[in-house]
A and B are shown apart, each in its own frame.
Chain A
Amino acid sequence: MTCWETIQAYGLRSFGIGERLLPKSDITLCEQTTLIGSGMIWNIYFGVLSLAAGFFFATALAMAKNARNPWLRKPAEWFIFLFRGSPLFIQFFLAYETFVLLPKFGIEFSVLGIDFTATTRWLTRAWLGALIVLFLNTSAYSAEIFHGALRSVPRGDLEAADAYGLSGWHKFRRVTWPTMMRLAWPAYTNEAIFLFHATTLVYFSGFPAWKQMGDALYYASYFADKTFNPFVPYPIVAGYFIVLTLIVITVFGMINRRLNRHLPQQRRQRFRFRPQWIR
Chain B
Amino acid sequence: MFSYCTEPSQLESLRWFSCFLTNGVHLKFYTSFGTVLLLLAITAPVALSFGFIGAVASRSHFPPLSFLGKLYTAMVRGIPDIAFFLFFVIALDQGLEWLRHQALCPDWTDPIRQGANFLVCPEAKLPQSSSPQIWHEIYNSAIAIFTFSIVFGAFASNVLFGAMKAVPYAQIETAHAYGMSNRQTFWRILVPQMWVYALPGLSNLWMILIKATPLLFLLGVEDIVYWAREIGGSKTSAYTYPHPDWRIYYFLGLLVFYLVFTRVSEIALSRLTRKLSHGQATLAGEQQRREA
Contact = CB atoms under 8 A, between A and B. Distances in A.
B262 interface: yes
A276 B204 CA distance: 5
Interface in B218-274: 218, 225, 229, 245, 247-248, 251-252, 254-255, 258-259, 262-263
A204 interface: yes
A237 B218 CA distance: 18
Nearest to A97: B248
Interface in A220-264: 220-221, 224, 226-231, 234, 237-238, 241-242, 245-246
B258 A230 contact: no
Contacts of A238: 78-79, 83
Contact of B94 (A220, A230, A241): A230
Contacts of A278: 81, 155, 208
Interface residues of A, number: 45
A201 B82 contact: yes
B248 A98 contact: yes
A121 interface: no
Is the contact region of chain B dominated by helix, strand, or loop, or is it mixed? helix
A230 B89 CA distance: 9
B288 interface: no
B15 interface: no
Contacts, number: 125
A94 B248 contact: yes
Contacts of B229: 93
A198 interface: yes
Given A229-B118, A246-B78, A234 B255 contact: no
A200 B82 contact: yes
Interface of A: 25, 81-82, 85-91, 93-94, 97-98, 100-101, 193, 196-198, 200-201, 204, 217, 220-221, 224, 226-231, 234, 237-238, 241-242, 245-246, 273, 275-276, 278-279
Please name the 5 residue pairs, one residue from A and one from B, whose CB atoms are nearest each other, closest first.
A276-B204, A197-B80, A242-B78, A234-B87, A245-B78
Interface of B: 76-83, 86-87, 90-91, 94, 113, 115-118, 155, 158-159, 201, 204-205, 207-208, 210-215, 217-218, 225, 229, 245, 247-248, 251-252, 254-255, 258-259, 262-263
